[in-house]
Amino acid sequence: MPVNIEIKAHCHDPENLSRILLAHGADYKGHDHQVDTYFKVQEGRLKLREGNIENNLIYYKRNDQAGPKRSDVILHPSGKDDSIKNILSEVLGVKVIVDKQRDIYFIDNVKFHIDNVKGLGNFVEIEAIGEEGEDSEMGRQCKHFMEVLHIKTEDLIVDSYSDLLLK
């Protein structure tokens, strides 16, 4: 199962973060308008992501904590067919919908999101993507890029966007 070590933080200057990433050789994948529909589940989080670049059914479990945290992820590519969304909505019920504008970058196995989330504001996410047993290296990568991007500890976010919207 793929493993992510990730951080999420408030972003005070999205354009500057973009410049820093590009200066460090980041591969810009593009801008995506994403709508994540979160469904009611007993454990973890289940969401259907609908976008122009990324369309996936995503189940993940992670501890809510500031700083680098592990996410165990199961990802299934989905199309722009409403049938999955309709079935999950009917069977599980919708918990919350997150609407965001997202710029996506990669440096090697590390994925960066610069997000503007409707109703919440600007954020940055760093996701080091790897396999079981690579946690310490991926944690090191997250901390390294926190320094590169000048992300302060006090700007780190514990909750997911869905949890922030529900508060």
Spans of all domains in the chain: 3-166
Question: Which 3 state secondary structure label does DSSP give 12?
Answer: coil
The predicted structure's pLDDT at residue 68: 87
Q: pLDDT tens for residues 38-84?
A: 999 999 999 999 999 999 999 999 887 777 888 888 999 997 777 99
Q: What's the first-to-final CA gap in the chain, in angstroms?
A: 31
pTM for the whole structure: 0.92
pLDDT digits (tens, 9 = 90+) for 114-161: 999 999 999 999 999 988 878 888 889 999 999 999 999 999 999 999
pLDDT given for residue 79 in this prediction: 79
Tokens matching residue 82: 């409403």
CATH homologous superfamily of 3-166 equals: Hypothetical Protein Pfu-838710-001 (2.40.320.10)
Residue 15: pLDDT over 80: yes
Q: What is the mean pLDDT of residues 22-45?
A: 97
SS (H, E, C) 40-100: CCCCCEEEEEECCCCCEEEEEEECCCCCCEEEEEEEEECCCCHHHHHHHHHHHCEEEEEEE
pLDDT for the residue numbered 24 = 97
pLDDT at 60: 92
Q: Please, is 128 exposed, middle or buried when counting C-beta atoms within 10 Å of its C-beta (0-12, 13-18, 19+)?
A: buried
